[in-house]
Structure 1
Amino acid sequence: MEQQKQDAAEDVVIVGAGLAGVGVALGLHRKGVRSVVLESSPALRTSGFAFMTWTNAFRALDALGVGDKMRSHHLQVQGVRVMSPTTGQVVRELDLRVQGKLGPHEARCVQRNVLLQALEEELPAGTIRYNSRIVSIDDDKEKDGGGDAKILHLADGSTLRAKVLIGCDGINSVVARWLGLAKPLDSGRRATRGHAKYSDGHGFQPKFMQLSGNGFRAGLVPCGDTDVYWFLTWSPSCPDGKEDVDQSPAEMKQFVLAKLRSIMAPDEVLDAVERSEMNDVLVAPLRYRPPLSLLFGSISKGNVCVAGDALHPTTPDLAQGACIALEDAVVLARCLGDAMDGDETIEAALRRYAGIRRWRSAQVIAASYMVGRVQQSEHAVVRFARDRLLSGVLAKGLLMMPDYDCGTL
């Protein structure tokens, strides 16, 4: 069969317009490097509503030039309140404005669509190409001075030649699969989330409320004066979790309320769930990439690498998934941009990026997994130690991973 005609060529192609992909594109733009972002959906994907954005993420956002814009739209979360699973009372409080090893801590619940739009607005028009889904990757057989260029086959039948390929295409990444990274594993846990809007103001203190017990973990945090975000993670009673996945939004809301009532959650928390919009993904399995596979796997190969969830899918127990994706964006843009300005090869620059991110990614995945298991465990000994001895330690653990600086561009 005659080889398919090549439609176009680009120097740097980023697959996926999530936080990592758009962040890498903006970082490269700041370094004077043009890139193209291929996004399979017809518009920016804003599923998930919001996420906790910690000190390390704000350092990355400052490096990208949008940190202050996010601060102006979102309340600073001043502390963490850990609730007792037996009485519903506050048993631990942690100040989130304390000084870390690298400077003062900062935490805000940032709306995903607000951040993505802020990043996109800083990019040259046309950087993101929507309705562009990549289905496979081939080596460029022509090799006419292109080195390790790759041919990307898109769902519409077109092809694109990329001199540098960066996979930011999420947990089911086509690029990660091409690199041979281990498949993400199912943690055996599920998560749901919601967004409550109070037109006259919610009245919540600017604190992250954390609840756990009876085999689940929940959290609630205000984003601004009128918006509150909450989540629930649990281990389904059936191994495949079908009794939870098949529920309607109304049934899922009742499922969450029943869990929260079982530990005497405060009335204001129950009210937030009652008034919530749940028209996003109702239930998501919590998956993670085995940490050891990142220590020995191929994060980069030639002129190809991955970032964000394509690199380090993790459970959300330390609220670091999006934060370290933003770290990736700064480090990768710095390494790649410096190589294009200097004598270092692209391959060497991507190896340097992989070396920086390998240990950091494995550390966050392992710590998140262990914290989630301890907080959600119903084993009698673990439960006793967690509720009586470890609740303060686990709360303080929230500040360990954010005490990190990815550097500037």
Structure 2
Amino acid sequence: MDLVIVGGGIGGLAAALAAARAGCRVTVLERRDVMSELGAGIQLAPNAFHALDRLGVGDAVRDRCVRIETLRLMDGTSDETLAAMPLTGAYRTRFGHPYAVVHRADLHRPLLDACRDAGVELRVDSGLTRYEQGAVDVTAVLADGERVRGHALIGADGIRSTVRAQLLGDGEPRVSGHTIYRSLVPMDSVPQELRWNAVTLWAGPKWHLVHYPIASGEFLNLAVTRDDGARQAVAGVPVPRERVLGEFPGLGSYPRRLLELGRDWRTWVLCDRDPVGTWTEARVALLGDAAHPMLQYAAQGACQALEDAVVLGGLLDGAGPDDVPQRLEKYAAARRERTAKAQLVARRMGERLYHPQGRAATERNAMLATLSTTDMYDAVHWLHGERTFLAPGVG
């Protein structure tokens, strides 16, 4: 069976690898002139490693990642610890894998190499304009007029997916009103007392700062977000250091020192979409951010795309052309509820956990003070401990 995947990012390559290992002939169409991954740090919970192992690239990613010892939530104005969840020992025993962080390129590269080894056709400068469905096939029509035929087409082309625009026609993404600034800091310029093997989040009134080591500990990933009501989407625009420092006057001493380390800042306005009930149209389906884009606050965007890929590959195993519409419906049905919950939880985390102020912040602090380590593990179990997507498909 011939499968066409639109998008050569993490989700698209993971889907291509899963499908190739299920026996499909796979072509990946990437609109840019290179197969690469934009961005910096990414967090990988154990559910991501379950998926990566199923895809056969878990060890390659583990070789490039930093295993994190703690998730910390701090008061960004007083420097006090609000909650800390250990990620060694009992956590790894319960969830089966570490919690790790990695540069996005160090996740993308193993997937890309494995796709090449699996015989996936990888095409750049191949932007999609539309697709056309027939009785037994679907054709991707490219910007230069070329037509690429397959028995199924998967839209893994991100939050502004061309495939989704044709399939759903639901317009532009939802602008969250949150502006994020990102910087990578060489670790040798970070004072020793600030080099923590943790994902640390400093929460303040309508803002928060996150930092953790990436690239095998060579860099510190800094991301600071402000709930400023931004209404226009922005992506990767350079901003002066002085502007970033001026946006966060209320930081405590530790987060202020961290913020001052940043150079070469870039900014984005965060976007997502509401969950939807339709991911498929006959021989076409959505995957990853094209299907369920979510805010970064649950650190599950890439993790959920990897799960999508494993489920899709399992359901395509042994499938023939005539089976495609039914198998794609089963894939969407298996994934919609879980990813919708992750989308909505990510929104709520921004509102109730990271950005509250005044009385709401006091109530948050009181609630967090009551939680034991087991309580925290129980709270994340539905995300980090999920393994049902590893069940074999219908071959």
Is the Cα contact below 8 Å between 1:138 and 1:152 reproduced in 2?
A: yes
Q: Is the 8 A contact 1:196 1:272 kept in 2?
A: no
Classify the secondary structure of the residue corresponding to 1:375: helix
Show CA shifts across 1:83-138 (max 9, x none): 12331133322102334896335211111112211111112356210000001122
Question: When the two structures are aligned, how many residues end up with a matched partner?
Answer: 380
Is 2:118 the counterpart of 1:118?
no
| 1:364 partner letter | A
Given residue 39 of structure 2, which amino acid in structure 1 is its aligned partner?
G
Residue from 27, 33, 40 that aligns with 2:18: 27
Question: Which residue is equivalent to 1:327?
Answer: 307
RMSD across aligned positions (CA)? 2.8
Which stretch has the larger CA shift, 395-404 or 54-63?
A: 395-404
| Distance of 1:174 and 1:67 partners within structure 2 | 30
Instruction: Kindly provide the CA deviation profile for residues 290-346 of structure 1, in whole angstroms up to 9, marking residues without a partner as x.
Output: 13xx2xx32112111010100000011110001101111111111112324xx9811
CA distance in 2, matches of 1:313, 1:44: 21
Distance in 2 between the 1:233 and 1:391 partners? 24
Is 1:174 aligned to 2:158, yes or no? Answer: no
> Which among 212, 224, 238 is matched to residue 221 of structure 1?
212
* Partner SS state of residue 73, structure 1: coil
1:6 aligned partner = none
What aligned pairs does 1:121-132 form with structure 2 within 5 A after superposition?
A: 121-124=113-116, 127-132=121-126
**Compared with structure 1, are the counterparts of its residues 44 and 99 closer, same or farther at alpha carbon in structure 2 (3 Å cutoff)?**
same
**In structure 1, what is the Cα distance between the partners aligned to 2:237 and 2:170?**
31
CA contact (8 A) 2:177 2:270 kept: yes
CA separation of 1:400/1:227 partners in 2, compared to 1, >3 Å: closer, same or farther?
farther
Give the 3-state SS of the residue equivalent to 1:345 in structure 2.
helix
Report the 3-state secondary structure (helix = DSSP H, G, I; strand = E; otherwise coil) of the residue aligned with 1:266. Answer: helix
Q: Give the aligned residue type for 1:375.
A: L
The structure 1 segments of at least 4 consecutive aligned residues displaced by more than 6 Å after TM superposition are 244-247
> Could you tell me whether the CA contact under 8 Å between 1:200 and 1:226 is conserved in 2?
no
Equivalent in the alignment of 1:264: 252
Query: How far apart in 1 are the matches of 2:22 and 2:287?
Result: 18
- State whether residues 260 and 270 of structure 1, in contact with CA within 8 Å, keep that contact through their aligned partners in structure 2: no
1:345 to 298, 323, 337: 323
Whole-Å separation in 2 of the counterparts to 1:103 and 1:121 = 28
- Consecutive unaligned residues of structure 1, counting only runs of 5 or more, are 1-9, 141-146
- In 2, are the aligned partners of 1:228 and 1:272 still within 8 Å (CA)? no
Q: Distance in 2 between matches of 1:173 and 1:41?
A: 14
Letter of the structure 2 residue corresponding to residue 230 of structure 1: L
Q: Does 1:311 align with 2:299?
A: no
* Alignment pair present for 1:185 and 2:163: no
| Structure 2 CA distance for partners of 1:170 and 1:60, relative to 1, 3 Å | same
Secondary structure of the structure 2 residue equivalent to 1:35: strand
| Separation of aligned partners in 2, 1:129 and 1:389 | 51
Q: Which residue of 1 aligns with 2:384?
A: 402
1:146-204 superposed Cα distances (whole Å, 9 cap, x missing partner): x2422322111222223211000000111112221644322222222221122488741
Q: Which residue is 1:143 aligned to? A: none
Query: Is 1:367–2:354 an aligned residue pair?
Result: no
1-structure distance, mates of 2:278, 2:358: 40
CA pair 205-378 structure 1, distance change in 2 beyond 3 A = closer
Query: Which consecutive unaligned segments of at least 5 residues does structure 2 have?
Result: none
- Describe the shift of the 1:306–1:127 C-alpha distance in structure 2 as closer, same or farther (beyond 3 A): same
The reply to whether residue 135 of structure 1 matches residue 119 of structure 2 is no
CA 323–245 in structure 1, closer or farther in 2 if over 3 Å, else same: closer
1:38–1:133: 8 Å Cα contact kept in structure 2?
A: yes
- Return the alpha-carbon distance in structure 2 between the equivalents of residues 56 and 313 of structure 1: 18
SS at match of 1:257: helix
Change in CA separation of 1:216 and 1:401 when aligned onto 2, cut-off 3 Å: same
Give the structure 1 partner of residue 47 of structure 2.
Answer: 56
Q: Which residue of 1 aligns with 2:261?
A: 274
The percentage of counterpart residues that share the same residue type is 26
